[in-house]
């Protein structure tokens, strides 16, 4: 007979004694269980004790998390969080340097546990740590020369404990003094400082900026881009990552009127070229966190274009009209004509109208009207002027080539530039906030100070080339734009390392090549509509779905590493989840770092029987997406979120690393629950595999037309004399 569901079998350790095997009744109060354990070892004052996990986490067992205890868990009897917090609060104020160092080391480790953190914070522990940071450095300044390692470790553990305590979100960031900010900033501004101190100081500054408008202003006064640049020129990728994270935070929280000014400072300090040299082209792989920070910087840089993208042209503004005049002047190099008579004025207007038509504007009389649509607004005109001034030969060639063609085959430069700018803004998602999980940065955008304009210049020449290859007319304009978008998107997916490499990728993606790719994809996904083929598809579809189901479950058995996120900042904290080979249990647990390969089942501390799963929810229905915080505002994070609901009010919350893993896990979990797999990935896999299977089965029928209806059944013969009776 199986044991009751409320009984959990565990082992409990106590220093200096043999471990006890014990059955815990989850219906009994936790205090009663602790008293029972203490009585077994003859320990008085059971209220001074608590249970905690004996694994590397050392997290305390509370009434809130006790349901996470599984059969076979090893627990440890230890002093209660309140007692531990009180003792550490006293120990870190010890006059003995060694005792103080040991206490801070313990505090840094224990502060990861929210139960202990709450007790330590209740003793005003955060204030104590900030005072130690503010005054401690001065107090021990004289000892630095003779005790430098000890001093560095002490400060490092103090800052680590502070970061861990603040990560729980119990204390508001608005409570910190200017003196504390100045002290943290001073660690960042020092040229020679311990790596761990620098790393934690950068992390603190990033959190301050992201979580408090007042602190952003104070940090911005203390930290300059020039002081952060040297940290990017080192070889420690973790320090480089935190440095870029601080720059991104300052960029993100800067008022709109300050962002362009900050971008100008970044350009003056040559941030882009430093990142290109010391990060992107350094002789080492870029980890996920660094890739994310580079992606954020890329998005924030392109978002500076949003203002021009959403600004309509004022047809009455002479300065803006002068830009259009300049485009005309560069293209046709018209000599200024005298405007003494009304006749010459009329002649000039007629000439301007003719030239504006050659330039490809929709409104020949007043081209300014073409730029009143947002997006792309004035950004399109900015791009056109950049192309005309910085790539003058190419600009003149494009304009004159089209002005000499027949009317029906000319590629309208003005209209093309406006639509192309709009399309490029959509591809690069100009104006959207960066995603919390995306790592999709493009190295080529870090190779030029005016990368968006250069990107446009390459693409407008591609558009002109594709227009000629397609022998397009004005009626084909939208078709040409679709082909150009496909060419650009396909070239971007290869992640070219430079704009020249991007250009060469596009050279290989001619219109003819795009047609071949489309034809190949169409053949692979061809949907035969004849009745016999449809019947064959219906017959083999269950086999294909079963194959997809097995693939999904096999992937769940391999497992996936998920990143832990909170609403305040990304952190290098991971957890792993995988399905047991018999498909009956989900194993999961926290990891110290991202794993290389699969994580064994026995190293994952927690288990969830598949039979206990009540439902799988996604997106806005997930409990962790309903909580207050920045994550729920992010569309991309919502699209990657899913949760497993089990027992009464318990859930396991996930944010998938990418859309592919999201589909794999939601499909696999639905398959375990006997539900249909509804993801886009399943539909694509089903279409691809069905198409391949049908083509294999129809190989012998190549070049034979399959009729829509089966052949008619012939009439019965007039007699059956031809039948031979074997008897």
Residue-wise pLDDT for 24-81, tens only, equals 988 899 999 999 999 989 899 999 999 998 877 788 999 888 887 888 889 999 999 9
Averaged pLDDT for residues 635-659: 85
Averaged pLDDT for residues 419-447: 93
Please state, in angstroms and rounded to a whole number, the distance separating the CA atoms of residues 480 and 470.
Answer: 8
* pLDDT over 50 (residue 147): no
Enumerate the CATH 1.25.10.10 domain ranges in the chain, comma separated. 100-307
The domain 100-307 is placed in CATH, from the list 1.25.10.10, 3.40.50.620, 1.20.120.1200, 3.40.440.10, at 1.25.10.10
CA atoms within 13 A on the CB side of 564: 15
* pLDDT range class, residue 194, cuts 50, 70, 90: confident
* pLDDT range class, residue 727, cuts 50, 70, 90: low
pLDDT given for residue 630 in this prediction: 42
pLDDT given for residue 666 in this prediction: 94
Taking the CA atoms of 185, 189, 190 and 194 in sequence, report the sign of the dihedral they define: positive
- By DSSP bridging, strand 570-579 and strand 585-591 are antiparallel
The owner of tokens 């053949």 is: 523
Phi, psi of 530 (to 5 degrees): -70, 150
* pLDDT range class, residue 435, cuts 50, 70, 90: confident
Averaged pLDDT for residues 636-664: 87
pLDDT given for residue 703 in this prediction: 60
Averaged pLDDT for residues 356-372: 89
* pLDDT over 50 (residue 631): no
* pLDDT range class, residue 192, cuts 50, 70, 90: confident
The domain 541-683 is placed in CATH, from the list 2.30.29.30, 3.40.50.970, 3.40.50.620, 3.40.1210.10, at 2.30.29.30
pLDDT given for residue 569 in this prediction: 45
Q: Which residues does residue 586 pair with via DSSP β-bridges, in sequence order?
A: 579, 608
Averaged pLDDT for residues 132-158: 65
Residues 233-276 have pLDDT tens digits of: 988 999 999 999 999 999 999 998 888 888 888 888 899 999 99
* pLDDT range class, residue 583, cuts 50, 70, 90: very high
According to CATH, the topology of domain 7-79 is Ubiquitin-like (UB roll) (3.10.20)
Q: Which residues does residue 579 pair with via DSSP β-bridges, in sequence order?
A: 586
pLDDT given for residue 311 in this prediction: 94
* pLDDT over 80 (residue 395): yes
pLDDT top residue among 2 and 687: 687
Averaged pLDDT for residues 364-390: 92
Enumerate the CATH 2.30.29.30 domain ranges in the chain, comma separated. 541-683
Rg from Cα positions in the chain: 34
Q: Which residues does residue 653 pair with via DSSP β-bridges, in sequence order?
A: 643
CA atoms within 13 A on the CB side of 642: 22
Task: State the average pLDDT for the chain.
Answer: 86
Percent of the chain at pLDDT exceeding 70: 90
Residues 526-542 have pLDDT tens digits of: 545 667 777 888 899 99
253: how many CB neighbours lie within 10 A of its CB?
Answer: 20
Contact 376, 309 (CB under 8 A): yes
Residue 239: is the preceding peptide bond cis (ω within 30°)? no
Averaged pLDDT for residues 220-238: 90
Percent of the chain at pLDDT exceeding 90: 50
The owner of tokens 């490499």 is: 501
pLDDT given for residue 134 in this prediction: 86
Residue 682: is the preceding peptide bond cis (ω within 30°)? no
Averaged pLDDT for residues 384-397: 94
Phi, psi of 643 (to 5 degrees): -140, 145
Averaged pLDDT for residues 596-605: 79
Enumerate the CATH 3.10.20.90 domain ranges in the chain, comma separated. 7-79
């Amino acid at each position: 007979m199986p044991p009751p569901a409320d009984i959990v079998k565990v082992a409990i350790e106590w220093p200096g004694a043999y471990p006890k095997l014990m059955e815990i009744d989850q219906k009994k109060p936790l205090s009663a269980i602790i008293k029972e354990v203490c009585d077994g070892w003859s320990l008085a004052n059971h209220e001074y004790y608590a249970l905690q996990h004996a694994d590397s986490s050392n997290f305390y067992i509370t009434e809130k998390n006790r349901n996470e205890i599984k059969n076979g868990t090893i627990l440890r009897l230890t002093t209660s969080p309140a007692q531990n917090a009180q003792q550490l609060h006293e120990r870190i104020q010890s006059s003995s340097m060694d005792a103080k160092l040991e206490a801070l080391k313990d505090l840094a480790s224990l502060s990861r546990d929210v139960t202990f953190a709450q007790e330590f914070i209740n003793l005003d522990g955060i204030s104590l740590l900030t005072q130690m940071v503010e005054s401690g450095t001065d107090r021990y300044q004289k000892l630095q020369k003779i005790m430098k390692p000890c001093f560095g470790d002490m400060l490092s553990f103090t800052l680590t404990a502070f970061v861990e305590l603040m990560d729980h979100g119990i204390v508001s960031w608005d409570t910190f003094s200017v003196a504390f900010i100045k002290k943290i900033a001073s660690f960042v501004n020092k040229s020679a400082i311990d790596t761990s101190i620098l790393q934690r100081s950068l992390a603190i500054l990033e959190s301050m900026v992201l979580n408090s408008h007042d602190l952003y202003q104070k940090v911005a006064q203390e930290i300059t881009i020039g002081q952060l640049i040297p940290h990017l020129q080192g070889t420690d990728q973790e320090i480089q990552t935190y440095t870029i994270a601080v720059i991104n935070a300052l960029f993100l929280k800067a008022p709109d009127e300050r962002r362009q000014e900050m971008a100008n400072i970044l350009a003056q300090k040559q941030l882009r070229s430093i990142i290109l040299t010391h990060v992107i082209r350094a002789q080492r792989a870029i980890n996920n966190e660094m890739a994310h920070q580079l992606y954020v910087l890329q998005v924030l840089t392109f978002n500076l274009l949003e203002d021009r993208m959403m600004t309509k042209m004022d047809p009455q503004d002479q300065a803006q009209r002068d830009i259009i005049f300049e485009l005309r002047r560069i293209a046709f190099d018209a000599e200024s004509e005298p405007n003494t008579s009304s006749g010459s004025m009329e002649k000039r207007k007629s000439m301007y109208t003719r030239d504006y038509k050659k330039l490809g504007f929709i409104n020949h009389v007043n081209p300014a009207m073409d730029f009143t649509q947002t997006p792309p607004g004035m950004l399109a005109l900015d791009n056109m002027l950049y192309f005309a001034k910085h790539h003058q030969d190419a600009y003149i060639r494009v304009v004159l080539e089209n002005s000499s063609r027949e009317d029906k085959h000319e590629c309208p430069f003005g209209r093309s530039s406006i639509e192309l700018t709009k399309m490029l803004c959509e591809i690069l998602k100009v104006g959207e906030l960066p995603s919390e999980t995306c790592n999709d940065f493009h190295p080529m955008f870090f190779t030029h100070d005016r990368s968006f304009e250069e990107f446009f210049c390459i693409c407008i020449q591609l558009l002109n080339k594709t227009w000629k290859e397609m022998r397009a007319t004005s009626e084909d304009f939208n078709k040409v734009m679709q082909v150009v978008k496909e060419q650009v998107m396909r070239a971007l997916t290869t992640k070219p390392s430079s704009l020249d490499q991007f250009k060469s990728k596009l050279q290989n993606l001619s219109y003819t090549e795009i047609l071949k790719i489309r034809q190949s994809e169409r053949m692979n996904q061809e949907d035969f509509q004849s009745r016999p083929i449809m019947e064959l598809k219906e017959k083999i579809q269950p086999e294909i779905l079963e194959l997809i189901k097995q693939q999904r479950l096999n992937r769940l058995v391999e497992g996936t590493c998920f990143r832990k996120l909170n609403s305040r900042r990304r952190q290098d904290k991971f957890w792993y989840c995988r399905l047991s080979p018999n498909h009956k249990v989900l194993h999961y647990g926290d990891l110290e770092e991202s794993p290389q390969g699969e994580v064994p089942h026995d190293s994952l501390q927690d288990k969830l029987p598949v039979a206990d799963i009540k439902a799988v929810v996604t997106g806005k229905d997930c409990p962790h997406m309903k909580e207050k915080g920045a994550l729920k505002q992010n569309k991309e994070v919502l699209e990657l979120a899913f949760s497993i609901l089990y027992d009464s009010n318990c859930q396991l919350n996930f944010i998938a690393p990418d859309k592919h893993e999201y589909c794999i896990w939601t499909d696999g979990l639905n398959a375990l629950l006997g539900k249909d797999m509804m993801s886009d990935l399943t539909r694509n896999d089903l279409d691809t595999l069905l198409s391949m299977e049908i083509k294999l089965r129809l190989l012998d029928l190549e070049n034979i037309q399959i009729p829509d209806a089966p052949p008619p059944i012939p009439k019965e013969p007039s007699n059956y004399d031809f039948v031979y009776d074997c008897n």
